[in-house]
A and B are shown apart, each in its own frame.
Chain A
Amino acid sequence: MLYRITGQFKTNYRSDYALFPVRQDMFLLAVILFFAWVVFPLMASEFAFQTLLIPVLIYALAALGLNILTGYAGQLSLGTGAFMGVGAYACYKLVTIFPDLNLMLAIGFSGLFSAAIGLAFGLPSLRIKGFYLAIATLAAQFFLVWLFEKWSWLYNYNASGAIQVPTIDMFGITVSGPTASSMVQYYFVLFIVSVITILAINITRGRIGRMWKAVRDMDIAAELVGINLLRAKLIAFGVSSYIVGVSGALFVFLWRGAAEPNLFDIPLSFRILFIAIIGGLGSILGNFLGAILIIALPVILNIIPEAFGVEVDSSLLEHINIMIIGALIIAVLIIEPHGLARIWAVIREKLIIWPFPH
Chain B
Amino acid sequence: MKYRVKTALLGAALGLGTLLTVPLASAQESIYAPNLSYRTGPFAATGIPLMNGQRDYIMMLNERDGGVNGVKIDFDECETGYSTEKGVECYEKTKSKAVVTQPWSTGITLQVLPKTNVDKIPILAPGYGFSPMSDGKVFQWAFNPPASYWDGASMMLNYISEGDLDSLKGKKVALLHLDHPFGKEPIPLFETLAEKHGFEFLPIPVGLKEMQNQSSQWLQVRREKPDFVLMWGWGAMNAGAITEAIKTRYPMDQFIGIWWSGHDGDLQAVGEKGKGYKSISWSVPMNDAPVMADVKKYVVDAGNSLLDKPEDMDTVFYQRGLLISMILVEGIRAAQNEFDTKVVTAEQLRWGLENLKIDDARIAELGMTGMVAPFSTSCADHTGHSGAWMLEWDGTKFVPASDMLTADQSVIKPLEAAKAAEYATANAPWPVNEDCKM
A-side residues, CB < 8 A to B, are: 46-47, 50-51, 55, 149, 156, 158-162, 164-167, 177-179, 256-258, 260, 262-263, 265, 299, 302-303, 307-309, 313-315, 317-319
Contact = CB atoms under 8 A, between A and B. Distances in A.
A114 B150 CA distance: 37
A314 B77 contact: yes
A51 B81 CA distance: 16
Instruction: Point out which of A55, A260, A262 has the most chain B C-beta atoms below 10 A from its C-beta.
Output: A260
Interface residues of B, number: 45
Interface in B91-137: 92-93, 95-96, 106-107, 110-111, 114-115, 117-118, 130
B426 A314 contact: no
B20 interface: yes
A326 B17 CA distance: 32
A167 B180 contact: no
Contacts of B115: 178, 257
A257 B89 contact: no
Contact of A263 (B84, B89, B117, B188): B84
Contacts of A164: 110, 114, 423, 426-427
Contact of B79 (A178, A309, A315): A315
B78 interface: yes
B111 A309 contact: no
B291 to A, nearest CB: 25
Contacts of B37: 314-315
Given A178-B117, A258-B110, A315-B40, A299 B89 contact: yes
Given A161-B179, A260-B110, A308-B19, 7 more contacts: A159-B419, A165-B114, A177-B114, A257-B115, A260-B107, A313-B77, A318-B79
Interface string B413-438: 00000010001001111000000000
B22 A51 contact: no
Contacts of B79: 314-315, 317-318
The 8 closest A-B pairs by CB, nearest first: A160-B181, A315-B39, A178-B114, A318-B79, A314-B79, A309-B19, A314-B77, A258-B110
B207 interface: yes
A338 B344 CA distance: 54
Contacts of A178: 114-115, 117-118, 427
Contacts of B23: 309
Contacts of A166: 426-428
B402 to A, nearest CB: 29
A156 B423 CA distance: 12
B207 to A, nearest CB: 7
A21 B81 CA distance: 47
A262 B180 contact: yes
B185 interface: yes
A47 B426 contact: no
Interface in B151-181: 179-181
Instruction: Point out which of A46, A265, A318 has the most chain B C-beta atoms below 10 A from its C-beta.
Output: A318
A46 B106 CA distance: 23
Contacts of A319: 40
A191 B4 CA distance: 49
Contact of B93 (A156, A177, A258, A303): A303
A50 B95 CA distance: 12
Contacts of A309: 19-20, 22-23
B187 interface: yes
Given A177-B114, A308-B19, A318-B40, A162 B179 contact: no
Contacts of A149: 179, 207
B363 interface: no
Contacts of A307: 20
16 contacts: A46-B92, A51-B93, A55-B85, A161-B184, A164-B423, A166-B426, A166-B428, A177-B114, A178-B427, A257-B115, A258-B111, A260-B110, A309-B20, A309-B22, A309-B23, A313-B77
Contacts of A318: 39-40, 79, 81
B224 interface: no
A9 B93 CA distance: 51
A269 B130 CA distance: 29
B75 to A, nearest CB: 11
A167 B88 contact: no
Nearest to B91: A50
A159 B19 contact: no
Nearest to A160: B181
Contact of B114 (A55, A161, A258, A260): A258
Contacts of B118: 178-179
A178 B233 CA distance: 30
B353 to A, nearest CB: 20
B180 A260 contact: yes
B208 interface: yes
Nearest to B88: A50
A129 B408 CA distance: 60
Given A51-B89, A314-B37, A159 B184 contact: yes
Contacts of B188: 159
A319 B39 CA distance: 10
B260 to A, nearest CB: 16
Contacts of B93: 47, 51, 302-303
Nearest to A99: B428
Instruction: Point out which of B19, B79, B115, B419 has the most chain A C-beta atoms below 10 A from its C-beta.
Output: B79
B76 interface: yes
A317 B78 CA distance: 10
Nearest to B208: A262
Contacts of A46: 92, 95
A317 B90 CA distance: 13
A51 B92 contact: yes
Contacts of B19: 308-309
